[in-house]
Amino acid sequence: MNKDIATPARTREILNKYGFSFKKSLGQNFLIDTNILRRIVDFAELSNETGVIEIGPGIGALTEQLARQAKKVISFEIDQRLLPILADTLSLYSNIRIIHQDVLKANIQHIIDEELAEIHDIMVVANLPYYVTTPIIMKLLTDRLPIRGIVVMLQKEVADRISASPGTKDYGSLSIAIQYYTKAETVMNVPRTVFMPQPNVDSAVIRLTKREKPAVEVVDESFFFQVVRASFGQRRKTILNNLISHLPNGKQQKENIERGLADSGIDSKRRGETLTIQEFAALSNRLVDIFEKKV
């Protein structure tokens, strides 16, 4: 078996061989602890019938662990300097395909159709670049990809927001968006000491299991998310004031917003972070009805 990439000595050897320098702008922090990588792979529950999508493989430390367990690994890498390194470090594995592309601009469904056409169990597993964590996760979910779930390492602060409950300081529009599409859990905390170079923040691994259908039924999905975002516009404001300030034509719609809150059984003096996803669904369904009739 190939020598594991994720040890301090082997990582340094690879970086020195290629004269690689870390780009802060790409959020490059490479994992140098094989045990943690294996645990991440375990959380994804892969089999030899699973296809994996990885984002930001770095020098291939997680990629090789995935390739040992999965049928095929498709990995997106934005940094051209890493392509020859990956070709070298992963040369023993025939079930890996590296795609040199920004995943945020990629047509992932098209790539799944081309690369994973025969595979029915697909997971996203990645050590995400922290500066684009949220946009990447939201793209994976809003693109309605045929995936079973997502297991990713990210900044602990973002993991806390993703898995937060109503009434807590971390609960916000991101918590609700993730809950709408998935069941979220933080499965492991990861200290900064297991990365090269060490980041300034601690990390966590989250597992998102995709729901067969969204957590709540909404009449208009984009309006639902608009209401959610507006409700958290300024955290210290009441939900009424936030909706007036942050919904389109909110000031002109003040009476309708008040009526929508009352009809939904929501006290207008509450703050957005106290509402459950069910309350947001009831409110947006009521408001969209009122807005469409009145606007």
Instruction: Please tell me whether 58 is known to bind a ligand.
Output: no
Residues with Cβ within 8 Å of residue 37, at least 6 apart in sequence = 6, 31, 61, 62, 65
Instruction: Please tell me whether 77 is known to bind a ligand.
Output: yes
Instruction: Please tell me whether 31 is known to bind a ligand.
Output: yes
SS3 annotation, the chain: CCCCCCCHHHHHHHHHHHCCCCCHHHCCCEECCHHHHHHHHHHHCCCCCEEEEEECCCCCHHHHHHHHHCCEEEEECCCHHHHHHHHHHCCCCCCEEEECCCHHHCCHHHHHHHHCCCCCEEEEEEECCHHHHHHHHHHHHHCCCCCCEEEEEEEHHHHHHHCCCCCCCCCCHHHHHHHHHEEEEEEEEECHHHEECCCCCCEEEEEEEECCCCCCCCCCHHHHHHHHHHHCCCCCCCHHHHHHHHCCCCCCCHHHHHHHHHHCCCCCCCCHHHCCHHHHHHHHHHHHHHHHHHC
Instruction: Please tell me whether 29 is known to bind a ligand.
Output: yes
Which residues does the annotation place in the binding site for S-adenosyl-L-methionine?
A: 29, 31, 56, 77, 102, 127
Which residues does the annotation place in the binding site?
A: 29, 31, 56, 77, 102, 127
